[in-house]
Amino acid sequence: MDIEGLQKRIKTTQDLRSIVSTMKSLSAVSIIQYDTALKSLVEYGRTINLGAVALMKNGDLKLPKEPVIKPEARRALAILIGSDTGLVGKMNREVVRFAEKFLQEKGFRIDQTAFIAIGRQIIAQLSRNEWNVIEQYPISNSVKAVSKTAASVLVTAHEHMQTDRITQVYVFYSEKQGVSVVPTSSLLMPLGTEWLERLKKIGWPGHNYPTYTLPPDKIYSALMRERLLIELSTAITEALSAEHHMRLTTMQAAEKNIDENLEAMNLEYQQMRQENITTELLDVVSGAEALRNQKRK
């Protein structure tokens, strides 16, 4: 490669580094945004939980009995949350593999399981596997759009629970654990018994319980809807935060590789430039020596 070609290559690499640096900054800002949203969801969830605790403490809410479901009658609906764009390593593939293994260990057949895919990369993965995707959604990078997507998914899940006799609805997504991103799952429906069992351990933060005028069953129904919305919104937000965490890690590695390549190319450029200068100086010296020799003759 000549020195002009190397200069163009260095310029292209510098432009690429600028793009990578911008993407890294955007992911870092997005992580802060989603982590802040997660804290708000936790706080809102705490308020919803206290509403159910108040019903329990006042004796207006009893733990429902778990329905007995025969093994052959069990049907699962799996909500898989991934990313819309790439540059997230194996995150989407790992969510799909984790969901497949989890469902099989729970005794569900994949060919009898319905899937809701959130994120274009997950949609593509499930399409290649030829799984039964009953609905698909893009995943928005807007915090405001998360609750809208979650609400729409819940409506779809509820409809299929009624028409397809779905007995369990699971959510699969990625979450940050330390510096890593790992796939995880949660049971979305039925939430009642498991949720209320957790609430039994929560104390009321005061001496007096609140009063209410609406019928307890209507209050509980509203609290349950909000709890489901919080659970799914949290899963989507966790997935978005994990996506940008993974992309940030990928961009940091890419930035390091680009810097190493730039350093090597700049060194090569300096060496080529020095060699050209040395060659030119030698040509000048040789020419001057030839002229002196001619004059002597």
Residue type, 100: E
Q: By residue range, what is the domain housing residue 50?
A: 26-251
| Mean pLDDT value of segment 27-51 | 90
Q: Phi first, then psi: give them for residue 177, nearest 5 degrees.
A: -135, 100
pLDDT at 182 over 80: yes
pLDDT by residue (tens digit) across 102-139? 999 999 999 889 999 999 999 998 989 899 999 999 88
User: Number of structural domains, the chain?
Assistant: 1
Q: What's the pLDDT score for residue 58?
A: 78
Domain-embedded: residue 190 = yes
Q: What's the pLDDT score for residue 41?
A: 93
pLDDT at 140 over 80: no
29-38, 48-57, 195-204: which is most confident: 29-38
- The Cα 292–Cα 116 span in angstroms is 87
73-87, 138-152, 268-282: least confident range: 268-282
Domain-embedded: residue 2 = no
Regarding predicted confidence, which is higher, 118 or 2?
Answer: 118
11-15, 127-131, 210-214, 254-258: least confident range: 210-214
Q: What's the pLDDT score for residue 67?
A: 65
Q: Which of 194, 198, 181, 190 is nearest to 238 (CA)?
A: 181
Angle of helix 3-57 relative to helix 192-199, nearest 10 degrees, comes to 70
Contact 14, 262 (CB under 8 A): yes
Domain-embedded: residue 243 = yes
Q: What's the pLDDT score for residue 228?
A: 92
Q: What's the pLDDT score for residue 59?
A: 75
pLDDT at 289 over 80: no
Regarding predicted confidence, which is higher, 290 or 242?
Answer: 242
Domain-embedded: residue 256 = no
pLDDT by residue (tens digit) across 42-98? 999 999 988 888 888 777 776 666 666 777 778 899 999 999 887 787 889 999 999
| Mean pLDDT value of segment 162-179 | 89
3-state helix, strand, coil in the chain (%, to 5): 65, 10, 20
| Mean pLDDT value of segment 158-179 | 89
Phi-psi region of 81 (alpha: psi -120 to 50; beta: other; left: phi over 0): beta
- CATH at 74: 3.40.1380.10
CA distances (Å), origin 219, targets 58, 78, 180, 211, 222: 13, 28, 40, 12, 5
- The Cα 170–Cα 78 span in angstroms is 5
What percent of the chain has a predicted confidence (pLDDT) above 70?
A: 93
What mean pLDDT is reported for the chain?
86
The 8-class DSSP code of residue 72 comes to G
pLDDT at 100 over 90: yes
Residue 288 — very low, low, confident or very high, per pLDDT cuts 50/70/90?
low
pLDDT at 275 over 80: no
Q: What's the pLDDT score for residue 63?
A: 63
Contact 41, 216 (CB under 8 A): no
What percent of the chain has a predicted confidence (pLDDT) above 90?
A: 32
Q: Phi first, then psi: give them for residue 204, nearest 5 degrees.
A: -85, 130
Contact 143, 33 (CB under 8 A): yes
CB atoms within 10 A of CB 188: 20
